[in-house]
Amino acid sequence: MSPEDAITLVDKLLSPYRLTAIQEVVFRRCWQGSTYAQIAASEGYDADYVRVTGSRLWQKISQVLGERVTKKNIHAVLRQQAYQLHQPATPDPWWPGADSSDTTFPGSPLPLGSSLYIERPPVENQAMGELLKPGALLRIRAPERWGKTSLVNRLVAQAQKLNFKIVRLNFRQADAGVLANFDKFLRWFCANIAQQLKLTAQLDDVWNIDLGSKVSCTNYMQSSVLNPLHQPLLLVIDDLQAVFEHPVMAQEFLPMLRVWHEEAKNLTEWGYLRLLVAYATEAYIPLQIHQSPFNVGLPLRLPAFTLEQTKQLAQRYHIPWDQGLTSLHTLVEGHPYLVHLALYNLSVHKMDLTRLINEAPQQSGIYSDHLRSYLAIFEAEPTLARTFYRVIEQDTATELEPMAAYRLESMGLVTLVGNTATASCNLYRQYFGGRLGVESSDYAV
């Protein structure tokens, strides 16, 4: 936030009063990091006068906001106020004007305004609060069909209301030839950013073979994208794990993101960049601790639904709560997609709850397509099947080799704690326990 934007916000908070000339001088210089002594010396005021003016100003703002405001916390306080002022005036800001009859078949991102979006506090507010910080790096991690894209869409919508420029990239859209060549990939990366911002790419003007692809890409971002902007740019990278599958490229690209994040401490233009990366699981490739983007910024793991959140969703589907729904929640252990699919069938197709739960791990159950899609992967990859069977066969957490852990967590089949894994829900234990261990000798361990 610029000093002018901060002053405008303070005037709005203090309305109908406005900052006096001396208050505006003191506020602007304090915002920029000056001490009272420095302000007095450079502006020609008495030092005690400046100190008293500042003290009274913070007291006035504190009274209006109902919280203590000082020179040291004014940036954080006003960032939060700016965010709150742009929230829709509805009980739930993540589904304003929602239609309670929304019964879209589960599996796709929930549209903005859907009543079926369940907020998972404090994730949403923490995420938006982080994106307000110059040079932010927000990392959202969750398995497939866990609600990442629905959350990202809402963060993007909020950022647009705050006058952010938006660029969204999905690395799964890059051609195989692009992902196989680091220089081509970075040119694809920059060209997509330029296209979405309606810039003339002119990559050849800054691309220097002697400097290398990473420096050329960084120079392009700084000189051609960030320098002309003078406003925040939210760069959203979906399916970051696509680069994990190309270890040589990942070992070059991921440290570059970290450098961009850290440059915000040194250069104003890099403070405009806010990085939001979404991925299913951590990289399984080795990265030096000082190069990895996975130990900086704000990490947010999107959790499973709590029992209370499942109850909220049932209410929005107009389904009365009973003990059977508690059993359903336990069966899928709050897996968002599996909860949605069950409640959809109970609401739209009027299925019997007891029958739904009994048939859930069977071929006749509502989850059969979802489960068979994983079974097809296991048929093609017997080693992965044997590894997963070892996880569900044991009562205690199982240690996995990195590649298997990466694959199974990204599919949402296991929950990782350190290097050990457990099956992510009882449904998977029941369905795959019989099929991987008994029905096919190909999977026998």
Domain ranges of the chain: 3-85, 123-301, 369-443
Strands 298-301 and 233-238, sheet pairing: unpaired
Q: Which amino acid is at 109?
A: P
**What pLDDT is attached to residue 24?**
87
The CA-based dihedral angle spanning residues 386, 392, 397, 402, taken in that order and rounded to the nearest 10 degrees: 30
Please choose, from the candidates 300, 297, 311, the residue with its C-alpha nearest in 3D space to the C-alpha of residue 122: 300
Q: Per-residue confidence at 288, pLDDT binned at 50, 70, 90?
A: low
pLDDT range class, residue 60, cuts 50, 70, 90: confident
Return the pLDDT at 84: 59
Q: Within 13 A of 249's CA, how many CA atoms are on the CB side?
A: 20
The pLDDT tens digits for 190-225 are 999 999 999 986 899 999 999 999 999 999 999 999
pLDDT the model gives residue 432: 95
Please check the confidence at residue 291 and state whether its pLDDT lies above 80.
Answer: no
Answer whether 3-85 and 123-301 agree in fold: no
Question: What b/e sequence results for 21-33 when a residue is b if at least 16 CB atoms lie within 10 Å of its CB, and e otherwise?
Answer: ebbbbbbbbbbee
Does domain 369-443 bear CATH number 1.10.10? Answer: yes
Q: What is the pTM of this model?
A: 0.75
Higher pLDDT: 73 or 253? It is 253
- Check residue 396 and give left, alpha or beta (phi > 0: left; psi -120 to 50: alpha): beta
pLDDT at 71: 84
Query: How far is the C-alpha of 235 from the C-alpha of 164, rounded, in Å?
Result: 10
123-301 sits in which CATH class?
alpha beta
Amino acid present at 241: Q
Q: Place 86 in a pLDDT band, splitting at 50, 70 and 90.
A: low
Three-state DSSP at 164 gives coil
CATH code linked to domain 3-85? 1.10.10
Which pLDDT does position 403 carry in this prediction?
A: 84
